[in-house]
Each structure stands twice: as structure tokens, then as C-alpha cells.
Amino acid sequence: MSKRLPQGLKHAFWSLLDTAIYPVFYLATVPIMLHYLGATLFGFWILINTIITILQVFNFNLGYTALIRISHAQGKGLLSRVSELINALLKITFLQWLALIAMGSLAAVIIGRTRYLDSYSIPIHQASLCVFWAAILAGLKYLEQLFQNIIKAYDQFRTAAILNMISRFGSLGISLLLAATYHADILVILVGNVAFSITYLIIHFLVINKVLPFYKPSIKTVPGLEKQLIAFSMWPWIQSILVILTFQGDRLWVSTFSGLKTLALYGLVATMFNHIHMIFMAMVTWVFPRLIRMEAQQKNSYEWYQQISGLFTCISIGLLLLFYFSSPFLIRTWLGNENYGQMKYFIRAFTVFEILYVHTILPFYLLNGTGSEKKATIFTFGYCALCYVLMLGAMYGMGRPEALVEGMALSMVISVPVLQELVNRQYGQGLKYWDLFLGILPSFLCMALVYTNVLWLQILFLIGAGFLFWRYHLSSFFNSGLWKQFFRGTITSG
């Protein structure tokens, strides 16, 4: 990347590269693993990876806590506090890892005494050892997440992205190499991944010491700091659990309502949009530590936040519309006409939902990073409950599986303005209902654009949305001169 590229765009580029490129390579290598392992053992490999993913839930979002707390301490120039925070977080993570090893040992004993995994045609002893090593690997992932967020707190997004890609592609490469060499031995693949992860973590820790030369590792920690960090991380952790239950549980309801064939296509579309949302989040991850530092330095970031939010909203919705209108060609080429004919209704509904869901990304970064974690959690519970009621009511009321997603979109129509008002109150701006309506109106026009097939109406909606996006989101960004700071990488706020 050119040194002239603005800092914000550098961060966005590396975050996007890290988020978007791995899923493509992973999906491309699935047939290779399937070939070497066979269908049955590949199913067991998927099961083991599912266990590792589920165990990530017990991390309490400590990586997120590291990003917030270290960014805040850095903003205040408290270098000794940064060292104290890192040491306390390492101690908590180490204890979590020991707890996972205990859980893995218990699960291995239970599996060894039952015939639960007989259908995978592997020895019970080996199956139980696989679960044990999966727990160890899950604990190492905790450390990876913590290390990643430590260097992100210091705006080292390029370094973080490169290291994360080394981790993910290295693990994928090790798995493919060992599968090709040992074929049916999942245990060897897991042990190989553990060995690679330990090597990677040592390198990552050395990088942290280079980025933070003042950091002093210590076994002794500040009394009570671990308890404070766990209490702080609890609210974001609850938020993530609520979101997972809501936006992953939809697959269960679709399978119940329409069967597994429909679920396969629905799940494929849902996975695509999940990755799209992750890409959008990666576009603005760099904003998060900057907001926290500005808050720590008692700088007014409202105008900067609003204008960056407007720019992000325009870009993300523009990309969604581009994907939607190119999807007939893309999906037909990938999966054929018949599958696209069944998927197009899901794609339309998810596009409309995501047009509004992108509005929640930056507000949650702000609320969680500026001392309103509890308020953000209460709101998350409210909009997830509303989402559940509307998505089930829509699906069973209208008798169409895609109506479930339309119910989710309707919940966002109600929730997003409330969330925007929470942000205004966070900045002490008071009630601005008319501004809220005009700010979200172009998104409503884009939703209407997706749902109409009349060409002149589509053109009318597009012109209206474009004008309102410029008037209420982009014009202030360019007229204020913020774009000059943005493109020089020197954004400041008084």
C-alpha cells in the first residue's frame, strides 16, 4: 500500500482483506479435504470444528474488552496502565484455557464411555482424544483473539491483518497437508494445528513487544483488576449471545416450516449475507479505537462520528444494491437457474434486511466504547425480542419462508430510529425526530427499489435515494473539509 494512502483507508483495506479473502479459499479447499478424508470423516472434522466454534462463546468477549480498555488507557497516555491491563487479561485467558482443558477432559471421558460417535467409524479412544485436543485448540484461539485486539488498539491494523491471515491460512495449509499425508487420522491434524497455533502465538507475542516496547510482562497483577475486566466484558458478551440466538436460530424455524431442502438454500443465502455483514464491519473497525481515544481525551467526536457514519452508510448500501442487481448473473453462473429461482426471494429479503442492519454497526461500536454497555445490552434484548416476534409472525402469518426475513427487516424499521436516538442522547443532542426520519428515508427508498420491478419506479427511487444520501449524509462530509483530513489520514476533533 502506498504511504500516501490515508490512514483510515489503510485500516479499512487491511481489515477487508483479512475478512473477505479467507472464506473464498476455505470454500475452494473443501472438496480437497472431502477427497482425502471421505464423507464420513469429513463430517467428523466438521463436528470437531463446530465444537471449537461453540467453545468460543465462553471467552466473554475479552478481545473486545482489550480493544476498548487499552485504547482508552492509550488515549490518556497511561502506559503503565496498558501493561497492567495486558497482564490481567493474559491471566484471565490462561485460567479460561485451563477450564477448557478440564471441560475437554470431561467430555473425552464421557465419549470414551459411550458409543455416541460410533456412526463416524473411528475408534472411541481416538474420538475422545480428538475432543480433548479440540478444547486445547479452542483455548489457544482465545489467546489469538486477545493478541489481535491488543495491537489493533494501537492502530496496527495492517500488522493485525497480516498476522491473522498467517494464522488462518497456516492452519488451513497444515490441515490440508496432514490430511493428504495421513488421510483418515483426524487426531494428527488436530495435534498439528495445536503445534502451529503455539508457534504462531510465540511470534505474535514478540510482535506485541515490538509494537509496545514499554510493555513489561508480569505474573503479579493489580488486585481486583481481573474482576473489573470480567464485569466490563459481560455486557458485550450478553449482546453477542442474544444476536447469535436470534440470527442463527432462524435456520431452525425455516427447517421446521419448509423442510431441509429449503433450509439448504436459505442457509446458503444467510451465510453469504453473514459474510457481507462481516465485511461491512471490517470496513469501519478502525473507527472503534479512535472513538474511544477521543472520548478518553474528552474531545467532541459527534460531528466526526456522524459524517463517517454517513459515508459508511452510503458505501455499504451502494455495494448491497450492486450485489443484488448482479446476483441473477452471479448465482445462475455458480449454482444454475433452478437453484437461483428458489433463492432469489431469500436474496431480495436479506438485501432489504441488511440495508437497515448496517445502520446498527457504528452505533454499537460507539455505545460499547463510551461507557454505555448496559444500555446497548438492554437495547439488544429489546430489538432481538421484537425481531423474533415479527419474523415468526410474518412467516406463519404469510405462509412463506422468506417472510421470516421480511419480519426481521420490519423489526429494523422500528429499531434503527430508536438506536439512532440513543446515539444522539449519548452525545447530548436531544430529540431530533425530523432529522432521524430524513436520515433514514433514503434507506427506505432503497428498500422500495429492491421490491419493485417497474423500471420507472426504480429510477425514481434511485434518484430520490441518491439526492437524500447526498443531502443528509455526504454533503456535510465534503463541505466541512473533513474529507481532506480523512484523505490525509489526520482526522482530529476539538
Same domain? 260 vs 201: no
* Structure confidence at residue 370 as a pLDDT band (50, 70, 90): confident
- 368-374 contacts at long range (C-beta below 8 A, 24 or more positions apart): 368/64, 368/68, 368/235, 368/236, 368/239, 369/68, 369/71, 369/288, 369/291, 369/292, 369/295, 370/291, 370/292, 370/295, 370/426, 371/295, 372/422, 372/426, 373/232, 373/235, 373/236, 374/235
pLDDT of amino acid 240: 84
Q: What is the pLDDT of residues 402-429, one digit of tens each?
A: 999 999 999 999 999 989 888 888 777 7
Same domain? 218 vs 113: yes
* Structure confidence at residue 484 as a pLDDT band (50, 70, 90): low
209 within domain boundaries = yes
Same domain? 258 vs 216: no
- Distances from the Cα of 37 to the Cαs of 49, 123, 172, 184, 206, in angstroms? 15, 15, 15, 6, 36
Average pLDDT over residues 5-15: 62
Among candidate residues 229, 261, 287, the one where a domain is terminated: 229
Same domain? 263 vs 407: yes
Among candidate residues 173, 197, 229, the one where a domain is terminated: 229
Is 47 a residue whose pLDDT tops 60?
Answer: yes
pLDDT of amino acid 11: 64
Say how many residues make up the chain: 494
Q: At a CB cut-off of 8 Å and minimum separation 6, what does 224 contact?
A: none
Same domain? 422 vs 384: yes
Average pLDDT over residues 449-455: 92
Q: Which three cell numbers stand for residue 451?
A: 421490491
Provide the domain limits for residue 189. Answer: 7-229
Calculated CA dihedral for residues 92, 93, 97, 102, nearest 10 degrees? 20
Is 490 a residue whose pLDDT tops 60?
Answer: no
- Give the DSSP H/E element, type plus range, for residue 260: helix 260-283
Mean pLDDT of the chain: 84
For residues 109 and 131, the answer to whether their CB atoms sit within 8 Å is no
> Which residue type occupies 97?
W
237 within domain boundaries = no
pLDDT of amino acid 316: 92
Average pLDDT over residues 113-142: 79
Distance CA 417, CA 65 (A): 27
For residues 341 and 433, the answer to whether their CB atoms sit within 8 Å is no
Q: Higher model confidence: residue 287 or residue 173?
A: 173
Distance CA 20, CA 198 (A): 25
pTM of the model: 0.74
Q: At a CB cut-off of 8 Å and minimum separation 6, what does 105 contact?
A: 132, 135
Q: Higher model confidence: residue 48 or residue 360?
A: 360
Residue 337, Cβ density class (10 Å: 0-12 exposed, 13-18 middle, ≥19 buried) = exposed
Same domain? 308 vs 433: yes
151 within domain boundaries = yes
219 within domain boundaries = yes
47 within domain boundaries = yes
236 within domain boundaries = no
Q: What is the pLDDT of residues 191-221, one digit of tens each?
A: 999 999 999 999 999 999 999 999 989 888 8
Same domain? 180 vs 266: no
Q: What is the pLDDT of residues 130-154, one digit of tens each?
A: 889 999 999 999 999 999 999 988 8
461 within domain boundaries = yes
- Give the DSSP H/E element, type plus range, for residue 103: helix 79-112
pLDDT of amino acid 4: 46
Q: What is the pLDDT of residues 277-321, one digit of tens each?
A: 888 887 887 777 777 777 777 777 777 788 888 888 999 999 999
Q: How many CA atoms lie within 13 A of 448 on its CB side?
A: 18
Q: Could you give the number of structural domains in the chain? A: 2
DSSP-derived letter for residue 93 is H
